[in-house]
Structure 1
């Protein structure tokens, strides 16, 4: 679908100049942009690419000389990436799922399907499920008994929603995600090796027999509004109380949330983050790729943890963390500087020892 420059600028709350009646049907990087596409050049470093591409309109940085760049029209937005978010939303038609319930979907007679919902082929919807108005559910999704999903949800191919899961409005779920699987919770009749290690910090009675008995998950998962779940992410249901994810929180691909975990509002959890059971995560927490959070601890509001950080103890609100184990970022940087100097220090020590100093 094509949009005029004026329409795009109005939708973004941005300023448009030049021939604002020009129509574009897509967006592209400057060097690859065609005449019918809007070039995305929100930083001066992309200016050179405009000459290589064929675009006649572009999204530019504030103060750019659009005449000198050879353009017929331009849009200026004070925050480029935010403008790109709005632009991408305008131009993303989303998956093509025909309105109504596909003939090859299986929907229990007791399920309630909201007005305007679109249910694709091979979808299975269990007893007592409630699907909100305007929801779009792609092929091969399964939604188990008693689940409730809010309005305008988008659940993509092969996702699995477990029994009794409750999800808010405007939910987006990428392919292959599993929400509401059994929690990984086991106990031994005798004291386990893990319990011994926690008590002794290293010593254990090796060779003692032990067997694992499952603790079943009687809880479910509760998810707020405007939550995104990435591809192949897994959110386990709680043992007794629900695992919870607050409104506005975003999970990347292959994130794992353990049983009973409580996650606050507007958090950002990047790829391969793992949060162990019964931990609590505050609001606006950012965990970069491959961060790990130990079980039964608390990570305070506004904590930011860099990639690969392993958090083993409670983290105070507002702390910026890095490393394994997690320490303040500035402390980690000093530790790394000292580590890089270590070979030189050892060489100096060896030379001094050889000289008998």
Structure 2
């Protein structure tokens, strides 16, 4: 296992090294369970107490903490602890063990282009005309469709499916089981469906249902993913119907997220687990959607929007707004609505008493 000096780690983080900066560590651990070979992560005082029971000789600590009093030989001071944690874990993560070159069991079409120093694992299938960038690491059982393009320094974990003609930028990461560029869920009936009638009438239509079946609208567009994007395990992002679906640079998509056809997602967005997008959503930059959010079709979400977990977005959301609830409203409005909801039983009792008093004035004291 690789070893790193405290000085090297501090330099990579742009942080300050204290004490025995040449001390070597080979992994990270929580303070109470750390051994002498570990760098303990004790960035807050409540975590630092664990150093007294663990065996760590070095730790990442927060500003103002006394590393010598904690019995350490060396320390790295992190003014922004969670950001430092990102750097430390990146330095310590060797990634999956994929042997250099192409595994004998991989099936690579002769017309595919594989970049220099790529590592392609067992049972990978690469279709005709596909292009894979330099230094790509592709784990076992991945399939890459005909004409797909993947940039440099990709890391594609086990069982990922990248469909035909999908285009992906540099430094892409896909966690196991992600499916990118499947057809959109787009169907139509010969005559007006009950869904269309309900939308037009807001559910008041009384016309009898017509017996008819659904006809597929084929997906002729593709999916275009920018640089520095990460897609979580078992996420599914559909290709466009005519135009492309798009995911902007730097956006991170969590496990079990579904993004429907024709969606255009901006840069540096954070989309948390089990969030679902219907089709044709336009979303700006730096949007954060908490887990289990639902996004209705054909709406626009501006930049810098934050939606709390389980929010349901049915209408357009302007830039910079923080929303919450079902349906989603401004967070402060939702808090007031929730307070009012909790007061409903008491309010109901008060109203009943007032009704009784008004209806029977002679019986009141």
**TM-score (normalizing by structure 1):** 0.99
1:107 positional shift? 0.1
Matches within 5 A, 1:79-228: 79-204=80-205, 205-228=207-230
Residue 350 of structure 1 aligns with which residue?
352
1:121 positional shift? 0.5
Residue 251 of structure 1 aligns with which residue?
253
Residue 304 of structure 1 aligns with which residue?
306
SS of the residue 1:254 aligns to: coil
Question: Following the alignment from structure 1 to structure 2, what is the Cα–Cα distance between the partners of residues 282 and 5?
Answer: 40
Unmatched segments (≥5 aa) in structure 1: none
SS of the residue 1:352 aligns to: helix
Question: Following the alignment from structure 1 to structure 2, what is the Cα–Cα distance between the partners of residues 351 and 105?
Answer: 77
CA contact (8 A) 2:112 2:128 kept: yes
CA contact (8 A) 2:181 2:238 kept: yes
Deviation readout 1:197-219 (Å, 9 max, x if unpaired): 01100123343212100000001
Deviation readout 1:26-68 (Å, 9 max, x if unpaired): 1111111111101101111212111121111110000111111
Residue 22 of structure 1 aligns with which residue?
23
1:353 positional shift? 3.2
Tell whether 2:334 aligns with 1:332.
yes
CA contact (8 A) 2:106 2:124 kept: yes
**TM-score (normalizing by structure 2):** 0.96
Question: Following the alignment from structure 1 to structure 2, what is the Cα–Cα distance between the partners of residues 34 and 233?
Answer: 37
Question: Following the alignment from structure 2 to structure 1, what is the Cα–Cα distance between the partners of residues 53 and 256?
Answer: 38
1:162 positional shift? 0.4
Aligned length: 357
Residue 238 of structure 1 aligns with which residue?
240
Question: Following the alignment from structure 2 to structure 1, what is the Cα–Cα distance between the partners of residues 203 and 355?
Answer: 35
Deviation readout 1:58-95 (Å, 9 max, x if unpaired): 10000111111111111001111111111111100000
Question: Following the alignment from structure 1 to structure 2, what is the Cα–Cα distance between the partners of residues 218 and 140?
Answer: 26
Unmatched segments (≥5 aa) in structure 2: none
Residue 12 of structure 1 aligns with which residue?
13
Residue 54 of structure 2 aligns with which residue?
53
CA contact (8 A) 2:194 2:209 kept: no
